[in-house]
Amino acid sequence: MPKSLTYSDEWEAGDFRNGFKLVIRKPYLHIISSCSDTSVLYDYLVEKQGRSIKNEKRTHIRLWETLKEDFFFKHYLYPGLPRIRTIGIMPKAKREYLTFSYLEHQNIPCIKAAGWGVRWDRVGGVKSCFIITAKAKDTIDLRFWLVKTSAEAHFEESVALILKKLGCYFRHLHSNKFFLLRANTRNILIHERDLCNPRILFLDQPYARFLSGPLANWGQLKELSTVLGGFFHHIDQSAIDLFFKTYLPDPLGKYSEDLRQRLIYLIRTRDKRGWFSKFTSYSTALVPYLFDKKQ
């Protein structure tokens, strides 16, 4: 992820010497308007009350409801040993923030990033980091939408439009060797009111990055099998071809003929339990790419 890819309307506070850094986009500065002391801004945001959405050992998500709009505050914690792995690595929250910036630059619809922050220890390990995103109104995740609307008359037509749109978006991203790596039906939002032409928004993408060579082929198979696999319980397998109408020819090379077969194989085996079963499935699909002398 290029560190230089930022928004043009950012306000910053702190740096590594201060032990923290905070970046807020100027349209959202009202989030910190009640705190005038820059040195305590990080703690102010971390302690800011809101409705708890997720409360796990290392990930906390809260919903801030304000008069202007609502925001999600996602906080990652790195206690003890997990912190060692963060030394010299881009903070997870910053990577996700830059991902949304990149998607906007590429005209790929996504939620609005409002800001991010990180706190370091003395040796450069990330103690915690967070990202703030604006809540998209009147949206539900694609997984729930597929269940909710499966019995409605417009379902097949709407799914066809969604698959074609996703094909266009992923083709554009993969042409640039950019992979979300966490794209699934839970991390894609659908505007509920758009019955005839559903709009799509991507969210929750902290692992996105540029890949090349065999890693790009792996990213492609992983990403597309996960996304399309979410449709398999709700539509006929042949409907997946609607996705390939806008995705193909293969943006990574010369595999248009068998890409579909490889993905169908991975989708059928994606529910296998255990890391060894999943590793075997991906290896079987990826081996032909590794030994292709034309690449």
pLDDT in tens, 41-98: 999 999 999 999 999 999 999 999 988 899 999 999 999 888 999 998 999 999 999 9
Chain centroid to CA 44: 26
Sign, CA dihedral 85-87-93-94, equals: negative
Strand residue runs (E) in 96-162: 113-120, 126-134, 139-141
Q: What is the pLDDT of residue 243?
A: 94
Enumerate domains of the chain plus CATH numbers: 10-134 (no CATH), 139-287 (1.10.510)
* HSE (side-chain half, CA atoms, 13 Å) at 192: 11
Return the closest-CA partner of residue 6 out of 27, 25, 30. 25
The single residue listed with the structure tokens 């894609």 is 188
91 token code pair: 């903070």
pLDDT digits (tens, 9 = 90+) for 143-182: 999 999 888 888 889 999 999 999 999 999 999 999 999 8
Q: What is the mean pLDDT of residues 237-259?
A: 84
Is the separation of the CB atoms in 120 and 126 below 8 Å? yes
Q: What is the pLDDT of residue 291?
A: 47
Q: What is the mean pLDDT of residues 231-239?
A: 81
Q: Which residues contact 256 (CB under 8 A, 6 or more apart)?
A: 248, 249, 250
Alpha carbons 219 and 176: distance in angstroms, whole number: 13
Q: What is the mean pLDDT of residues 241-250?
A: 92
> Cis peptide leading into 79, omega within 30 of 0?
no
* pLDDT: which is higher, 147 or 271: 147
What pTM was estimated for this model as a whole? 0.89
Return the closest-CA partner of residue 17 out of 94, 107, 124, 117. 124
* Three-state secondary structure string covering 201-265: EECCCCCCEECCCHHHHHHHHHHHHHHHHCCCCCCCHHHHHHHHHHHCCCCCCCCHHHHHHHHHH
